[in-house]
Every structure is written in structure tokens, then in C-alpha cells.
């Protein structure tokens, strides 16, 4: 049993109190004396040449303080992509500049070409509408296959719409082709991984402030990783020295990837604040979020699975077109490549894998990492084609998976897609799943549904993902332009309480509660005496932020290492206080004891001694008790799971209802089961949303048809069931100190194929030989598939 | 500009507003009650739900002037008199019914309205009532559970976790 409030306890979240009482402090809640408001003028066409922008009428309107256009930022840098991907022919990817404001051309609906700063937001909005932009509309490039014909260009200067043509692993291509050519059975599936809008409930917002006395800037912004934002603004976009720029991400209302990235609005409010000598605040409305937040997914894939007649896998081969939108967002080139292709062996011992990804520019919003980021796309392709292959071969799809699972005695396992899985037990996950879903009872439940005129389907699949990004040495070889370690400082105050400064940002994940559980247990002190400080570059040492389910596995590991340093130093102080050698000191439950004696001092006394160092061996030990650690992981972590759902399909309407959803995940060790379960719930809702409801729809002119909650279907409470979530089969990660793997994205990764597999199963049970329907499985699509099969 | 007067969380307040000023902007900008959030501008997401004369209302879909003379309740006025969480707020914490917290004020205000109208709602009734409140973090499981717990119902029948 976990100790009270320690590792493994279901500690209630302390941050909840402020959110439940309306005292949270999100960026839009912050008002600063003298602040002005920014509103952006955005393109209403998807592709066009900016002939002129006449701001004269707008400039004379009430309250207007300044107007910026792309011309004002023509000489500053662009917002870069964080990963350099090389094409199969060795050529580096195409990297057109992403300016602060559109200059020369607009490239998607919503692309900002001007910004108005005024006394009030209403005045700024009125003036933005009075800007006269002469934009010559060009044919929009929307469909990826059309884009690759290069008849119309998103970026004229690169002379193509193809960003890169990547092969993974290129040296394995010939062998994979040969294996597929000679295989007894090949199943082919063409599928679309539908484009999604992350839709954090808090729209993006930024406040720029400039302090003339210090020549220093502060940016308060809706960010998952303030240090990365600072680095991008400093090193690439505005050139503000890092020591003159503080980035603060206060309470942030969800991110799901969309708030990893640096956006032009952040640079604009900083530049405007300096020009005006006043704080400048911008808050997006929801339609701006739809038009300009980085979207997710948007792959078109052909996957082939070659296997023996007995279902033994021989090869996976895929060809994918991945949309990157109009500009390269910061992680956009890593997401369809190293976060996708490397997972294309799934949970399986398949000997051959080859992945080809063409990244395509289109006149749409940038596409980047969204909850799962590449792994949902890989999982969906693999787990859908396996079900199709099993159906073709007349095999049970679960048995087919089990036949090919990596077995527990094969770790560390080198996958055919180039990763080394450290731990897992996929059969144990599947056993537990089949038990909870009561697979044996499914036939009865199907009968019961049929007696009510409904078709019942069961979908079961596995997933594996790579989290905790990542080993800097490895990602450096793979093209990353940054390191992906994290950092923490543990500060023990004189009176024994602690401030722990961490690089990971918490925007729903519960770090403020869970991280103290860990440090509290290590130090044998009450977690309530430990505060987590995050989201402020002036207070924390460094950090690469929160994404890729990395907070605990990477930043948590840094925190553990810093706490170990605290213990090591405290032991020396205790040894001095107890007149013993440091090696003779035991530390348990917050007490330092001389081995074999009853001589001891408590943690609090040692802390006090560190700050009031009377009779202190200053030759050997510095006063104070504060330690910092940077942690760079040795490998990715590999969460895995087995998911099952049961759906009912109404044959009269095609409507799908999710009756049950069971998720059995291996996250390694679990620090706070309540929080971990909550993370799975949220991921499942987003995955089920992708499968059944959500889709960002652009028309042929590049107009976003789904740009509000009246058009884009967000999952509501009555679309979803209670979930059954289990973590009992965890296998600890072998290479980080807590043995944790990461839980933030699993639900969104594992669930889309489960739903689609279940619907296909339901339709086939009703005698409809449907092999595939593209997501979202709307009633219209399901009904139409049933009635054309 | 016209003046508007109302009672907010039991206190009389008044202020000058434009005709186009929304109730949510008056609460947030003039009264500094920033617990009421704006998530969508089109009255879909429910982050701005407040109580006006006892009814749940989306404060982004009502002008401040329309609340003239009304009794308005916001999330800031929900805790018990001693500052402790009320039954619904406490149930949300106990059952992990929130993550990023942005939709939470609206959820709590809607839940209060639901339980006033229907003190023992079924799971289906809770889910249907929350149609106008979007949460992107929790998948609703723990919100539904929290509201049912706040209503004093036995939760043992709810799916195992």
C-alpha cells in the first residue's frame, strides 16, 4: 500500500481548489495597468498576393495607437521548424520562411497580414475591419494529391509543394519490397487519418510587456513550454537576448499539443509593447483558434501487410501523404516522421518495415503534433490493416496479434522500425482486457442487441507508443535541432519546506500534486510542505516543456536526481551534526541516523543547519540546501496497451453508440492512479471523437467549413460512456529512476482503430461485407457504406 | 454610456457599459470576476455559465444591460460561507472531475442548476443536461460521477476503473 500522500496514492489535486472557486489565473484573466489591445486582420482567402494594404482610414479611428503589417517584420527572422528531415535522395527538406505577419502573400484563411493596437479591444476590432487590403486571389492548393502536381504553389520560392520525401528505413526498402513480392498473402488498405483541431477550451492569448528601465521584455502566454518559446523568439524570430526576455505561462486551459508552438501573435505583442511603451494584450476568439492553432493528423496512407497463411507477419509497408499546411510549425516535420515511422512495427516481431512519407504544403492552417502526434496515425494504420488481414484469412484478429506479439523474454527488443523497446508484456495486457470485456459473453450481448434491431460490434486492438522524448544524442542524429532533456531545482528552505522548480508545465496534468508526492516520499516529509513552481523562465532553471507524455519520465527524473543530490548533501550535514562519517548515515522516513545507534536528526533540523551554519564545516560543505539536475533519458519509454470496445450500430440510421470501452495500459509504475486514470479518460474521449465525430473540413477554395462549435463536432457528455480503465499489468521502464512510461496520450492513440474495428465488425455481423470506412464514422458515412456494400 | 445595476454574489454593483457589452465582459472586466470564462463566443461551450435570477445562463449570450436589477451568481460566490468548497465543488475535487480547470466554473454552475431542477438525476439525465458544456480534458466520466456523487447517490454501480 502506498504511504499517505506518497508514491502510488490517489492524492486529491491541490490545484483544483483555485479552479473550483474561480481564482485560477489564465492569461486572458490578467490585466495590466496601461495595457492596450491587439486585434489581427486575417486573410479571408486561402492563397493570394498582397498587392497593397491601406491602413490610413484605420489609423485615424478612435483609440488606435499603432498598426503593424508584414513590412514591419520583413527584416526579422522566421519561426523555424525544430527538426531537419532529409529526403530519400539526401536533399534537406524545404523550409520556407514563416514570418510574424504575412508579407507578400497570404497562404491560408486566417493568415494574419496586419495587427491593430488600440486602447480597447472593441476599438481595435473596429479599426481592423477598416483596413483595406488589396489581395489578388490565386487558386487554392488544398488536396494533397493535387498539391503534389505543383500546378499552383503555396510558396513560390521553393518551386514545389513537397516539403520532403522521407524513407524509413531507406536501407530496408529493397528487402521489404522483396519480402512483400514473395509473400503468400498481402492485405492492402487505403485510409485517411482525419484532420483534427486540438480545441483546448482556453483560446490562445498573449500579453507583451516592455520595461524600458531594464530594456527587458515579459511575455505572458498560453504555452506548454515557456523556455522553448523564449528560445525561439530569442534565437530565431526577434533576436531579444534570452536574459532580457521572461516568458510566463500562468494557468493554461489545456494544450494537447497546440500550445507547444511559438506563434506570430507572441512576437507581435512583444514588438508592439516596445514600440508603444505599454503592455499589449491579445486574446483569440474561438474562430481564430480554429483558423490559426496548429491542427493535427491529416494523413492519407496506403498500408500493406504481408503475412504467411497462418498469420505470421512478414512486412509492413506504407506510403503516406502528410499535410503540413501552409507553414512549417515547430514540430511539424518530426510528427509524421520520427514520431510515426519509427512506431510502424507496432507490438510485433515483424521482420520488415518500410515507411515512406511525403510531407505536403497546402493552403490550410499549419498541422503539427496533436495528442499522440504520429503514434495515433501509426497505430491506426497497423491495427486497422491487421483486422482486415484476419478477416481475409478467416483468423481471429486477437489470435493473429498474439501470434506476432513481442514476448516478455525478448526485451530489450530491436524493432524493425529502428527502436529498442525496453519492457512490456502484451499478452498479459490482452489477457486482462479479454477478462474485463468478458469476451466470452459477447455473443449473448450481440443477441440482445439484435433482438432490439441493433447491430453489435466488438473491436479489440493493441498499441505501442514512444514517449518521454527523448535521448538528445539519438534525436540529434535524427535531425532534431534541440536537445530533449529536462531540468529541476529542489530548494529546501531554512524552515524545512520546499520549492521545486520544474521545466515541465502543468495545464491539467496535476504536476502540482503528483510531483510533491514523489519528493515527499523520497525525503520522508509531508507533500503539503512542497510547492511546485513551473511556467516562468525567470524562476526555473530550464525546461523543454510538456508534450509527448514526457513530464514525469523526463522532468520527473530530473527532479528525482536533484532530490538525490539533496539527500547526499543533507547526509553530510547530518554526519557533521551527529559527529559521524557520511557513509555511516542512514536516511529513512525523514530521519538521519548513525548506523547501529539511536543517534539521529530530522530532515528539518538539517535544513535549518544548512542555512544557519554555525559550527559548520565550511571547508567541506557549502551552506544552503539547493540542488539542480538536468536529465537526459537513455531511450524513449514505451507505453503499450490493449483496448476493446463494444458499439451498437442502428442499421436504420447508421448511428454508432459506444456502449463499453475498456483500456488496459502499461504505463510502468503509476505515481497517482486517480490522475493517470483521468489522463486515459481524456485521451479516450479525443480518440473516440476522432473516430466518430470530429473532422476539420476545408472546401476546395481553402475555406474552413468547420470553424466554430456549431460546425466542428466536439464530443459531448452524451456521446461517451463510462470507461473501464486498468493499469494492473504495468512493467516498469528499465531506464528511468521512477520506472514510469507516460500516460498522457495513450487513450488518443489506442482508441480510434478500436472504434472503427468494432463498427466494421458490427456491419459484417449484419451481413454487410464492409471492409473500411474513413473517420469520422458519421451516421451518413456508416449508412452509406452499409447500403453500397 | 448607460449605467447598469445588479446584484452579483449578494453584493450590489453598478457600472457604465456600452449597449454591446456582454454580461460576461462586464463580470470579467468591470467587476474583475475572472472565474467566468469565455471559450467559444457562440454559446456552445458553457465555460461562461452563470446564474441569473436562479437560472443557468450563458453570460456570453446576454448583454450586461439585460441583467439590470437581476440577481447574478458566479463561481466566485459558490463556496460555503466559511470559504470551504460546497458540495458540488467538493465532489468535483473528490472525483477528479477537472483537469485544466477552464471549463470547470461553467460545469459547476450547470451542475448546480441541474441538481436544483432534478435532485437525483440518472446518468443519462446528467449527460443530457451537460450538452451545453464542453470539456476537452476529462472525457466527462469523472464530471458525471462527481455530479451524481454531489446528488448523494450511490456510485457503486458505475463502471469499475
pLDDT in tens, A82-134: 999 999 999 999 999 999 999 999 999 999 999 999 999 999 999 999 999 99
Q: Are A362 and A142 in contact (CB under 8 A)?
A: yes
Interfacial A residues in 188-207 facing B (CB < 8 Å): 199-203
State the pLDDT at residue A1.
Answer: 44
Average pLDDT over residues B31-40: 97
Q: Do B161 and A714 touch (CB under 8 A)?
A: no
From the list A19, A23, A724, the residue facing B161 with the nearest CB is A724
Q: Do B136 and A684 touch (CB under 8 A)?
A: no
From the list B18, B100, B161, the residue facing A253 with the nearest CB is B100
Q: Are A692 and A762 in contact (CB under 8 A)?
A: no
Q: Is residue A186 part of a domain?
A: no
Q: How many CA atoms lie within 13 A of A334 on its CB side?
A: 23
Domain of residue A210: give its range: 31-138+201-254+259-292
Q: Is residue A698 part of a domain?
A: yes
CATH number of the domain bearing residue A738: 3.30.365.10
- The residue with cell 542555512 is A611
**Which range is least confidently modeled, A1-5, A366-370, A599-603, B119-123?**
A1-5
User: Domains plus CATH for chain B?
Assistant: 3-77 (3.10.20.30), 87-150 (1.10.150.120)
Whether residues A88 and A131 share a domain: the answer is yes
The answer, yes or no, to whether the previous bond of B76 is cis (omega within 30 of 0) is no
CB atoms within 10 A of CB A576: 20
Q: Are A728 and A734 in contact (CB under 8 A)?
A: no
In chain A, whose CA is at the least distance from the CA of B143?
A717
User: Given a cut of 60, is residue A538 above it in pLDDT?
Assistant: yes
Q: Is residue A170 part of a domain?
A: no
User: Given a cut of 70, is residue B119 above it in pLDDT?
Assistant: yes
Average pLDDT over residues A286-303: 98
Interfacial A residues in 712-751 facing B (CB < 8 Å): 714-718, 720-726, 747
Contact partners, residue A579, CB within 8 Å, separation at least 6:
none
Q: Both ends of chain A: CA-CA distance in Å?
A: 54
pLDDT in tens, A257-292: 999 999 999 999 999 999 999 999 999 999 999 999
Minimum distance, in Å, between the CA of residue A451 and any CA atom of chain B: 22
The C-alpha cell at A284 is: 483569440
Whether residues A60 and A134 share a domain: the answer is yes
CA neighbor of A758 nearest in space, from A443, A462, A461: A461
Q: Are A576 and A569 in contact (CB under 8 A)?
A: no
Q: Are A383 and A753 in contact (CB under 8 A)?
A: yes
Q: Do A12 and B96 touch (CB under 8 A)?
A: yes
Out of A631, A661, A681, a domain closes at A631
State the pLDDT at residue B159.
Answer: 53
Whether residues A303 and A265 share a domain: the answer is no
The C-alpha cell at A211 is: 520595461
DSSP string, A202-227: SPPEEEEEEETTTTEEEEEE--S-HH
> How many whole angstroms separate alpha carbon A468 and alpha carbon A742?
7
Minimum distance, in Å, between the CA of residue A539 and any CA atom of chain B: 22
Whether residues A590 and A510 share a domain: the answer is yes
pLDDT in tens, A306-317: 999 999 999 999
> How many whole angstroms separate alpha carbon A82 and alpha carbon B6?
52
pLDDT in tens, A421-443: 999 999 999 999 999 999 999 99
Is A509 part of the contact surface with chain B (CB cutoff 8 Å)?
yes
pLDDT in tens, A377-397: 999 999 999 999 999 999 999
Out of A631, A651, A684, a domain closes at A631
CA neighbor of A327 nearest in space, from A386, A368, A380, A378: A368
**Alpha helix positions (H), B10-161:** 23-25, 87-94, 104-117, 123-129, 141-150
Q: Is residue A173 part of a domain?
A: no
| Contacts B51 to A, Cβ<8 Å | none
CA distances from A80 to A98, A228, A499 (A): 7, 12, 34
Tell me, letter by letter, the H, E, C secondary structure of A450-485.
Answer: HHCCCEEEEEEEEEECCECCCCHHHHHHHCECCCCC
CA distances from A379 to A231, A684, A690 (A): 33, 14, 14
User: Given a cut of 90, is residue B85 above it in pLDDT?
Assistant: yes
A192-226 per-residue burial string, b: 16 or more CB within 10 A, e: under 16: bbbbbbbbbbbbbbbbbbbeeeeebbbbbbbbbbb
Would you give the distance in Å from CA A359 to the centre of its chain? 19
CA distances from A205 to A30, A208, A223, A293, A306 (A): 10, 10, 9, 11, 49
Quote the pTM value: 0.97
Out of A631, A648, A678, a domain closes at A631
Minimum distance, in Å, between the CA of residue B5 and any CA atom of chain A: 22
Q: Do B136 and A200 touch (CB under 8 A)?
A: yes
The C-alpha cell at A82 is: 525544430
In chain B, whose CA is at the least distance from the CA of A203?
B39
Q: Is residue A176 part of a domain?
A: no
CA distances from A367 to A74, A141, A359, A362 (A): 24, 15, 11, 10
Whether residues A752 and A765 share a domain: the answer is yes
Q: Do A13 and B93 touch (CB under 8 A)?
A: yes
Whether residues A755 and A707 share a domain: the answer is yes
Q: Is residue A4 part of a domain?
A: no
pLDDT range class, residue B154, cuts 50, 70, 90: confident
User: Given a cut of 80, is residue B160 above it in pLDDT?
Assistant: no
State the pLDDT at residue A2.
Answer: 56
Whether residues A648 and A686 share a domain: the answer is yes
Q: Which H/E stretch holds residue A319? A: strand A313-325
pLDDT in tens, A143-159: 999 999 999 999 999 99
What percentage of chain A reaches a pLDDT higher than 70?
A: 100
pLDDT range class, residue A3, cuts 50, 70, 90: low
Whether residues A490 and A459 share a domain: the answer is no
| Contacts A513 to B, Cβ<8 Å | none
Q: Are B121 and B147 in contact (CB under 8 A)?
A: yes
Whether residues A91 and A216 share a domain: the answer is yes
Whether residues A370 and A456 share a domain: the answer is yes
The C-alpha cell at A441 is: 459473453
| Contacts A256 to B, Cβ<8 Å | 136
In chain B, whose CA is at the least distance from the CA of A509?
B99
Is A675 part of the contact surface with chain B (CB cutoff 8 Å)?
yes
Domain count, chain A: 3
The C-alpha cell at A92 is: 534537406
Whether residues A415 and A491 share a domain: the answer is no
Q: Is residue A703 part of a domain?
A: yes
Q: Do A22 and B36 touch (CB under 8 A)?
A: yes
User: Given a cut of 50, is residue A534 above it in pLDDT?
Assistant: yes
CA neighbor of B131 nearest in space, from A709, A199, A717, A722: A717
Whether residues A502 and A624 share a domain: the answer is yes
Share of chain A residues as helix, strand and coil, in percent rounded to the nearest 5: 30, 25, 45
Average pLDDT over residues A758-776: 97
Average pLDDT over residues A466-492: 92
**Which range is least confidently modeled, A240-249, A284-293, A609-618?**
A609-618
CATH number of the domain bearing residue A129: 3.90.1170.50
The C-alpha cell at B140 is: 466527462
Q: Is residue A514 part of a domain?
A: yes
- The residue with cell 513552481 is A533
Average pLDDT for chain A: 97
Amino acid at each position: 500500500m502506498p504511504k499517505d500522500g506518497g508514491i502510488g496514492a490517489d492524492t486529491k489535486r491541490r490545484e483544483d481548489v483555485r479552479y473550483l472557486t474561480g481564482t485560477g489565473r489564465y492569461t486572458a484573466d490578467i490585466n495590466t495597468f496601461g495595457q492596450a489591445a491587439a486585434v489581427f486582420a486575417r486573410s479571408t482567402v486561402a492563397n493570394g498576393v498582397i498587392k497593397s494594404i491601406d491602413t490610413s482610414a484605420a489609423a485615424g479611428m478612435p483609440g488606435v495607437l499603432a498598426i503593424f503589417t508584414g513590412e514591419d517584420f520583413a527584416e526579422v527572422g522566421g519561426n523555424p521548424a525544430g527538426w531537419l528531415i532529409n529526403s530519400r535522395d539526401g536533399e534537406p527538406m524545404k523550409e520556407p520562411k514563416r514570418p510574424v505577419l504575412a508579407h507578400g502573400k497570404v497562404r491560408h484563411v486566417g493568415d494574419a497580414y496586419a495587427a491593430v493596437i488600440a486602447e480597447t479591444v472593441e476599438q481595435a476590432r473596429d479599426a481592423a475591419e477598416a483596413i483595406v487590403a488589396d489581395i489578388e486571389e490565386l487558386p487554392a492548393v488544398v488536396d494533397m494529391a493535387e498539391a503534389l502536381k505543383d500546378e499552383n504553389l503555396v510558396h513560390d520560392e521553393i518551386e514545389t509543394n513537397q516539403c520532403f520525401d522521407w524513407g524509413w528505413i531507406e536501407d530496408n526498402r529493397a528487402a521489404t519490397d522483396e519480402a512483400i513480392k514473395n509473400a503468400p498473402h498481402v492485405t492492402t488498405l487505403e485510409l485517411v487519418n482525419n484532420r483534427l483541431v486540438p480545441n483546448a477550451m482556453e483560446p490562445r492569448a498573449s500579453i507583451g510587456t516592455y520595461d524600458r528601465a531594464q530594456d527587458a521584455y515579459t511575455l505572458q502566454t498560453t504555452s506548454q513550454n515557456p523556455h522553448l518559446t523564449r528560445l525561439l523568439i530569442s534565437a530565431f524570430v526577434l533576436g531579444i537576448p534570452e536574459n532580457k526576455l521572461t516568458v510566463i505561462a500562468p494557468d493554461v486551459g489545456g494544450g494537447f499539443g497546440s500550445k507547444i508552438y511559438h506563434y506570430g501573435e507572441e512576437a507581435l505583442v512583444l514588438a508592439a509593447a516596445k514600440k508603444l511603451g505599454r503592455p499589449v494584450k491579445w486574446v483569440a476568439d474561438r474562430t481564430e483558434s480554429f483558423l490559426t492553432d496548429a491542427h493535427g493528423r491529416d494523413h492519407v496512407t496506403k498500408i500493406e501487410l504481408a503475412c504467411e497463411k497462418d498469420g505470421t507477419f512478414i512486412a509492413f509497408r506504407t506510403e503516406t501523404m502528410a499535410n503540413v499546411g501552409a507553414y512549417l510549425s515547430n514540430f511539424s516535420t518530426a510528427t509524421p516522421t520520427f514520431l510515426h515511422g519509427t512506431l510502424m512495427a507496432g507490438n510485433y516481431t515483424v521482420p520488415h518495415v518500410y515507411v515512406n512519407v511525403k510531407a505536403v504544403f497546402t493552403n490550410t492552417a499549419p498541422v503539427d503534433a496533436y495528442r499522440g502526434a504520429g503514434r495515433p496515425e501509426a497505430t491506426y494504420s497497423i491495427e486497422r490493416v491487421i483486422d482486415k488481414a484476419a478477416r481475409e484469412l478467416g483468423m481471429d484478429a486477437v489470435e493473429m496479434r498474439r501470434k506476432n506479439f513481442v514476448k516478455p523474454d525478448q526485451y530489450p527488443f530491436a524493432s524493425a522500425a529502428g527502436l529498442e523497446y525496453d519492457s512490456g508484456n502484451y499478452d498479459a495486457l490482452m489477457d486482462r482486457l479479454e477478462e474485463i470485456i468478458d469476451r466470452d459473453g459477447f455473443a449473448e450481448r450481440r443477441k440482445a442487441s439484435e433482438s432490439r434491431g441493433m447491430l453489435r460490434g466488438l473491436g479489440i486492438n493493441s498499441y505501442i507508443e514512444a514517449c518521454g522524448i527523448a535521448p538528445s544524442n539519438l534525436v540529434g542524429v535524427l535531425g532534431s535541432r534541440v536537445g530533449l532533456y529536462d531540468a529541476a531545482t529542489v530548494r529546501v528552505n531554512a524552515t524545512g519546506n520546499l520549492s521545486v522548480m520544474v521545466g515541465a508545465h502543468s495545464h491539467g496534468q496535476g504536476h502540482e500534486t503528483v510531483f510533491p508526492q514523489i519528493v515527499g516520499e523520497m525525503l520522508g516529509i509531508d507533500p503539503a510542505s512542497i510547492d511546485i513552481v513551473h511556467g516562468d523562465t525567470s524562476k526555473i532553471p530550464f525546461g523543454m516543456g510538456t508534450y509527448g507524455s514526457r513530464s514525469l519520465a523526463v522532468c520527473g527524473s530530473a527532479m528525482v536526481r536533484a532530490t538525490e543530490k539533496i539527500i547526499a548533501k543533507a547526509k553530510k550535514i547530518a554526519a557533521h551534526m551527529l559527529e559521524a562519517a557520511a557513509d555511516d548515515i542512514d536516511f529513512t522516513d525523514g530521519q538521519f541516523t548513525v548506523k547501529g545507534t539511536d543517534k539521529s536528526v530530522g530532515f528539518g533540523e538539517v535544513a535549518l543547519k544548512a542555512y544557519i551554519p554555525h559550527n559548520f564545516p565550511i571547508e567541506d560543505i557549502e551552506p544552503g540546501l539547493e540542488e539542480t539536475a538536468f536529465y537526459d533519458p537513455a531511450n524513449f519509454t514505451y507505453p503499450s496497451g490493449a483496448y476493446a470496445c463494444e458499439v451498437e450500430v442502428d442499421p436504420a440510421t447508421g448511428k454508432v453508440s459506444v456502449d463499453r470501452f475498456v483500456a488496459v495500459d502499461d504505463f510502468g509504475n503509476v505515481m497517482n492512479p486517480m490522475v493517470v486514470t483521468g489522463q486515459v479518460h481524456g485521451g479516450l474521449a479525443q480518440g473516440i471523437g476522432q473516430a466518430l465525430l470530429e473532422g476539420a473540413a476545408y472546401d476546395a477554395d481553402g475555406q474552413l467549413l468547420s470553424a466554430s462549435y456549431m460546425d466542428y463536432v466536439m464530443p459531448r457528455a452524451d456521446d461517451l460512456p463510462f470507461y473501464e480503465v486498468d493499469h494492473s499489468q504495468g512493467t516498469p521502464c528499465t531506464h528511468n529512476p521512477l520506472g514510469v512510461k507516460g500516460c498522457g496520450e495513450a487513450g488518443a492513440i489506442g482508441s480510434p482503430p478500436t472504434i472503427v474495428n468494432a463498427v466494421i465488425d458490427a456491419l459484417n455481423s449484419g451481413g454487410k461485407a464492409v471492409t473500411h470506412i474513413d473517420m469520422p464514422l458519421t451516421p451518413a458515412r456508416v449508412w452509406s457504406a452499409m447500403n453500397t456494400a | 454610456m448607460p449605467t447598469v445595476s445588479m446584484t452579483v454574489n449578494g453584493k450590489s454593483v453598478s457600472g457604465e457599459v456600452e449597449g454591446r457589452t456582454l454580461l460576461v465582459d462586464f463580470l470579467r472586466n468591470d467587476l474583475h470576476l475572472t472565474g467566468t470564462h469565455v471559450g467559444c463566443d457562440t454559446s456552445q461551450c458553457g465555460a461562461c455559465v452563470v446564474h441569473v435570477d436562479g437560472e443557468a445562463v450563458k453570460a456570453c449570450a446576454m448583454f450586461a444591460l439585460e441583467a439590470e436589477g437581476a440577481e447574478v451568481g458566479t463561481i466566485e460566490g459558490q463556496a460555503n460561507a466559511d470559504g470551504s468548497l460546497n458540495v458540488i465543488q467538493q465532489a468535483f475535487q473528490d472525483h477528479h472531475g477537472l483537469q485544466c480547470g477552464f471549463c470547470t466554473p461553467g460545469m459547476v454552475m450547470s451542475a448546480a442548476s441541474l441538481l436544483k431542477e432534478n435532485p437525483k438525476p440518472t446518468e443519462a439525465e446528467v449527460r443530457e443536461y451537460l450538452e451545453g458544456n464542453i470539456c476537452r480534458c476529462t472525457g466527462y466520466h469523472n464530471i458525471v460521477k462527481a455530479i451524481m456523487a454531489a446528488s448523494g447517490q450511490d456510485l457503486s454501480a458505475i463502471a469499475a476503473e
